[in-house]
Amino acid sequence: MKYKALDSKLFIENRKRFAAKMKPNSIAVFVSNDEMPRSADALYTWRQNPDLYYLSGIDQEQTILLLYPDCPNPKQREVLFLRKTNEHIAVWEGHKYTKEEGKEASGIETIIWAENFDSTFHVLMSYADNVYLNMNDHDRASTEVPYLEHRFALDVKAKYPLHKIERSAPLMHLLRSIKSPIEVEAMRHACSITEKAFRRVLGFVKPGVYEYEIEAEITHEFLRNRATGHAYNPIIASGEAACVLHYVDNNSECKDGDLILMDFGSEYANYMSDLTRTIPVNGRFTSRQRAVYDSVLNVMKYAKSMLRPGTLFDDYNKEVGQAMEEELIKLGLLDAKEVKAQNPESPLYKKYFMHGTSHYIGIDVHDVGYRYAKMEAGMAFTCEPGIYIPEERIGIRLENDVVLTTDGNIDLMESIPLEAEEIEELMNAKVNVR
């Protein structure tokens, strides 16, 4: 791994918090993600299951975590199963965790090789009443692939039909939605790497560069600062492409007079950042582009002020929508009388601002959480309003990552250039990366 390992205190505390929510005499099992085939003998880049990482700090394939807080044998109340290495693996794949390294990274004392999981699990299940199984229960998830967690759950249910099955996901969603100070610092570090990449890009962009060249500059800065890589597929969208919300082709020439919408973020220690900025290709906004930009910025500032403990998502989105309506009326895109008479279930602003303003962020870019509960201190959200006008070749979105506290919110990206004047000043500085 490229990043510096996080303090094992984080994972020790996370396991304690999870165990405290388990029913008496229960086992919980968390398995790592599959190594997914790409083609021939190649695999897709592997990433650890976020729940397993959250509870163990182990960033290696074929890992299993077993928690049994009421186990009669105190040494088996926390068990970490690691892939056993050998000379062949060392030559072809490189170093794998030793038992001592697994202990240091996770804070777990009992380490067993993964090849012995089945026998150990069978013995412990003889004493347990319930078993917590984990699945990808994200409310936006959709997959046809029978992934490892799913296959493991089916196997357990077939082998132990008399045990009561419990879901780990609701507990994990509750725990993961509240970030600890160590997690916030990891996210802050990811944001700082993202800032370096954005500043690099401001000195690089000019008419005639291609979107993929900008992506390359970002990737360069990420990797030289020990990021794992991109937190998600970056969007580098110029001209009309800026109005395509999930544009990832990144293959067009950036033309004089157009805008570039860039949505990207680095991943560091499995924690994500998510930034969006929109800049003029030639370093100067036109008057119309500037007016739309300022409207988006006004909505962003208002939305940020609403990100505070006690706020409900529905109320938040409704008020942000009303703020957006006012800006779109000022821009001449909506008519005030028509807005007043609109169907509240189909607000007119959705024509120009069709996505949500915020989502949870953390170990996943679209992190887990409960969207119908009140916001709480420790939660982290993006804030990302936008206005998209394809007929004018204008697509503008601005996005920062925000952590809520009892004393207001903390903008993890507050030092990243945002005001139009600063963007123009940096793009027109004499010293740049071109």
Of residues 259, 293, 239, the one with CA closest to residue 418: 293
Contact by Cβ (8 Å): 111, 66: no
Handedness of CA 286, 288, 289, 291 (dihedral sign): positive
Structure letter (DSSP) for residue 116: G
How far apart CA 387 and CA 383 sit, in angstroms, is 14
3-state DSSP assignment of residue 12: helix
- Residue 306 Cα distances to 234, 261, 291, 309, angstroms: 28, 25, 23, 9
How far apart CA 179 and CA 184 sit, in angstroms, is 6
- The H-assigned helical ranges of 68-166 are 87-92, 99-106, 117-125, 148-159
Pair of tokens at residue 155: 């196997």
The angle, 0 to 180 degrees and rounded to 10, between the axes of the packed helices 287-306 and 313-330 is: 160
How far apart CA 145 and CA 154 sit, in angstroms, is 14
The residues annotated as belonging to the active site are 41, 246, 263, 274, 355, 359, 366, 384, 388, 397, 399
How far apart CA 305 and CA 314 sit, in angstroms, is 16
How far apart CA 295 and CA 307 sit, in angstroms, is 19
Q: Burial, 107: exposed, middle or buried (Cβ in 10 Å; 0-12, 13-18, 19+)? A: buried
Largest CA distance in the chain: 75
How far apart CA 211 and CA 88 sit, in angstroms, is 42
Contact by Cβ (8 Å): 349, 325: yes
